Amino acid sequence: MLCREDNGMIYDLIFLRGMTPLRPMTLQATGCQLLRLDQSTGGVRLTTEDFQSLFLKTIGIPSLVPGVGGRVVTACRYDADGKVRCTI
């Protein structure tokens, strides 16, 4: 598999049900942009453009790579309405 240059940036993702963590995952921001599932599930998935677009829209950033698109995200959290809010 040929991938773009990988600068080592990784997003640590934790999916929640309410305030209970369900499944940790990591997402490579560059290179092959792989989604690595937690140890209990095992496996690696190659993300699609549709997945990446939905991910960016969900957390409200223009790019997986900070500074691309003119904004840098420093932290994301859920607000009282259950929506993701990111500090830029």
DSSP secondary structure letter of residue 38: P
- Percentage of the chain lying above the pLDDT 90 cut: 1
Sign of the CA dihedral running 35, 8, 19, 63: negative
Range of the domain at 38: 10-87
User: Does any domain span residue 5?
Assistant: no
Number of domains in the chain: 1
Spatial separation of the C-alpha atoms in residues 15 and 53, rounded to whole Å: 18
In a domain? residue 59: yes
pLDDT at 37 exceeding the cut of 70: yes
The whole-angstrom separation of Cα 5 and Cα 51 is: 20
Q: Is residue 2 assigned to a domain? A: no
- The single-letter DSSP state of residue 64 is S
pLDDT at 12 over 80: yes
Q: Residue 57 falls within a domain, yes or no? A: yes
What mean pLDDT do residues 19-39 have?
83
**pTM of the predicted model, to two decimals?**
0.62
Alpha carbon 21 to chain centroid distance?
16
Does a structural domain hold residue 72?
Answer: yes
Q: Quick check: is 4 in a domain?
A: no
